[in-house]
Amino acid sequence: MRVPDRSGLIALLRAGQTEKAAGYAREIAGLDAAAASETKSSAGDKYETAREMIAQTRRLMDANLVEAKAGLEALERMAAAPAGKVITFGSLVETSQGWFLLGTSFGEIEYGGITIKTASLASPIGAALKGKHAGDKLPWRGSLLEIIALSA
C-alpha cells in the first residue's frame, strides 16, 4: 500500500479550511450589507423580524468562522509538529483499521486514493493511540487494533 504524504495531506486540509473561512467571511460581509440596507417601514414588525433573522444568521456565521480559523491554527501546529516514533499531535498513523491523522477532527478525507480519518487526540481513538508506537497492539471496540506505521 502506498504511504500518504503527511505534509501534502495537511496542505490539502489547510486549503479546504481556508476556503471555508473565506466563504464565511463573504457571508458575514453580505449579511452586514443586508442589515445596513434594511430600512424601517410602517410594518415595524417585519423590519424587526428581518433584522433579527440577519443577526441570528450572522452569529452562526461568526461561530463558523471562529471554528474554521481554529482548524487552520490546529493545522499549522500539526504541520510544525515533527514526525516521530511515538504517536502524538499531528501524527499520521497506519493501523489495521485504516489511516488516521491525529490532531483535530475534519472527518474523512480521500487523499492519493486512500481514505484517511481525522481525529482529535481527545477522541476515543485519539486517546487510545496517543503515546503508542508502530507494532503496538491494543483492544479496540471488540477487536485488536494494530499500529502498522507512522508516516513522516
Write out pLDDT tens, residues 73-89: 999 999 998 878 999 99
Q: Is the same domain home to 55 and 107?
A: no
Q: Which domain holds residue 144?
A: 92-151
Q: How many domains does the chain have?
A: 2
**pLDDT-derived band at 52, boundaries 50, 70, 90:** confident
Residue 38 lies in a domain: yes
pLDDT of 70: 94
Q: Is the same domain home to 10 and 66?
A: yes
Question: Which of 56, 80, 104 is the C-terminal boundary of a domain?
Answer: 80
pLDDT of 18: 96
Instruction: For residues 17-29, give the mean pLDDT.
Output: 95
Q: What CA dihedral angle connects 31, 22, 75 and 2, to 10 degrees?
A: 130
pTM for the model: 0.83
Q: Is the same domain home to 41 and 19?
A: yes
pLDDT of 2: 72
Percent of the chain clearing pLDDT 90 (strictly above): 70
